[in-house]
Amino acid sequence: MEAESGFDILPVYDTPATGEIGAPGEYPYTRGVYPTMYTKRPWTMRQYAGFGTAAESNARYHQLLANGTMGLSVAFDLPTQMGYDSDDPIAHGEVGKVGVAIDSIDDMRRLFHGIPLDKVSTSMTINAPGSVLLLLYQLVAEEQGASPADLQGTIQNDILKEYIARGTYIFPPKPSLRLVADTFAYCRTEIPKWNTISISGYHMAEAGATPAQEIGFTLANGIEYVRAAIDAGLAVDDFAPRLSFFFVARTTLLEEIAKFRAARRMWARIMRDEFGARNPKSMMLRFHTQTAGVALTAQQPEVNLIRVALQALGAVAGGTQSLHTNAYDEAIALPTEKSARLALRTQQVLAYETGMTGTVDPFAGSYAIESLTDQVEGAATKLIERVFAYGSAVEAIEQGFQKQEIEASAYRIANDIDGGDRVVVGVNRFVSETEEKYEPLRVDPAIEANQAARLAELRAGRDGDAVRGALDRLRAAAAGTDNVLPVMREALRLRATVGEVCHALRDVWGVHQPVERF
């Protein structure tokens, strides 16, 4: 790449040759997991979207693809995330509100109508029922004529962080870990290009975790998933290359860049030294980033455009593999078509107007960045040691350790904001006396009744005996040791609903009952 002044920008600038830093694309991957990073092609630009009905979300996906989005990212409503159908009494008032309602294969068909699933990369933010939604995606792709071997994307499938920071869990931790391991094994043979988990620090950060807590607790969960897969009989290099991670990008630019570099270095060492990985891809921490939703303000919402741009810059400078930029109006309501397009344009400006893609790891060698990388790594490593002093990440979760640490951090941050020690522009300083009127996007309240009507039609039109038999076979598999995904896939093919499949597993595994510690 040539600078505007006429001289060349080098693809890689050398830093001191130490084992702590290394070259881009080489162990311990401090400077990035690929030697060329964005100099050959930019990161994948995803936009997280989903609301109302599958048909409404499908229209938004077509708009995003037409505007240059390179990958889709699906938001599901709370009933879907919790494994309930839209007509379940517990779903009342929440259908289609924070994501799209998906009750069956019929909804999944509508969601991706006209989108060739072997030509796009799709990320699905779904955890407890992640395997269920992945199987629906596979079934729809096969109906389109696509081979499962060609499908690319990610399911979040990270249940441990739900117990720590988010709460959309269904089953207790141990059967949940079994379901994760079953998904690893299934995808290895059936959907080999699929990323089977996105181990998430994002939601911990949104709950108040510091950068060191975010990567410390996330990597501890990663260790737990690797152990569960190995205990299930999988070889580390058979599944580890498909592991991925999900982090936040805050506005604190330098610490965030250092955080991403430290996380890569730590994971490379963990996989090589603790688990004996030999495949370099098993040691690469590949991650998706989302800008910080919790940092968005309802006051002076246009200021969020600046926040998101800076957060996106930190993610890119830190070497993310894909990025979602939040819309400026998300603190008020679901993004409008215009605000979603502006969020995407933010990434496109970074990729094509700033020169950031011309060189790999542009902040390497900075005294501040290298020092912060070491400090974040040291603090995160100590947190991992504290987690495993309980015996395992699950046992630490059961004792409330991670949750308590994050809540203490959140309390400190809230006090700093309330006291004015931490500035939030437009909230506790530089406050505007008048605010422009904003007209938010609203979800049609009739969606719940419409989804219930579609479910009634589905149940009346399918082979009820065949569905009941398939669900009985799923219960038997869950009670035994066989992989549950093949029988689950057959139930979904017969048009069993998401709620029915999850209830069959609840019948065997039960539900998680959190223990509050004060």
Mean pLDDT of residues grouped by 10 in the chain (518 residues)?
87 71 93 96 90 93 91 94 97 94 98 96 96 98 97 96 94 95 96 96 97 98 96 95 96 98 98 98 97 96 97 98 95 89 96 95 94 97 98 94 96 96 95 76 85 97 98 98 97 98 98 74
* Residue 468 burial (C-beta neighbours within 10 Å; 0-12, 13-18, 19+): middle
pTM, entire model:
0.92
Residues composing the chain:
518
Q: What is the pLDDT of residue 518?
A: 46
Confidence (pLDDT) at 517: 57
CA dihedral of 271, 160, 43, 349, whole degrees rounded to 10: -140
Closest CA to 66 of 114, 101, 18, 107: 114
**For 436-482, how does the pLDDT look when each residue is reduced to its tens digit (9 = 90+)?**
777 777 778 899 999 999 999 999 999 999 999 999 999 999 999 99
Cα gap 250→311, rounded to integer Å: 5
Quote the pLDDT of residue 258: 98
CB-based contact 43:286 (threshold 8 Å): no
Q: Where are the domains of the chain?
A: 118-419
Question: 188-237: per-residue pLDDT in tens?
Answer: 999 999 999 999 999 999 999 999 999 999 999 999 999 999 999 999 99
Q: How far apart, in Å, are the Cα atoms of 451 and each of 51, 69, 328, 343, 441?
A: 13, 29, 30, 30, 20
If one counts every other C-beta atom within 10 angstroms of the C-beta of residue 147, the result is 10
- Measured CA to CA, the distance from residue 359 to residue 21 in angstroms comes to 16
What is the dihedral sign for C-alpha 203, 209, 214, 220?
Answer: negative
Residue type, 102: I
Backbone angles phi, psi at 497, to 5 degrees: -90, 165
pLDDT at 19: 54
118-419 maps to which CATH number? 3.20.20.240
